[in-house]
Amino acid sequence: MIITILESVMLVCFGISWPISVYKSFTSKSTKGKSVVFSFAIIFGYIAGLAGKIISRQINYVFVLYIINLLFVSVDCVLYFVNKKREKEIATKTKHA
């Protein structure tokens, strides 16, 4: 039981940063300060955590925390590519102007 509580605390603490990161990516429309490799590593980690829960048949509220965090990191990753494309378009327009 204590392990589940500690795991959920860890996920909540990590999870607090993801909505903030998504908001910053959305409003700044920039990839500055972002690392897509880091994001993919985090996504892989959350998938591994989900797989561990499934294999051990410990699907509980912690499983939901993994999914929520995974969704936020995935959205931030998508925004990275959207913003990267926007930055390239701006650079191309500026170059041809």
**pLDDT tens, 67-81?**
999 999 999 999 999
SS3 97: coil
pLDDT of the residue at 14 = 87
Entry pTM:
0.87
pLDDT band at residue 97 under the 50/70/90 scheme: low
In this structure, what token pair is assigned to residue 59? Answer: 């699907």
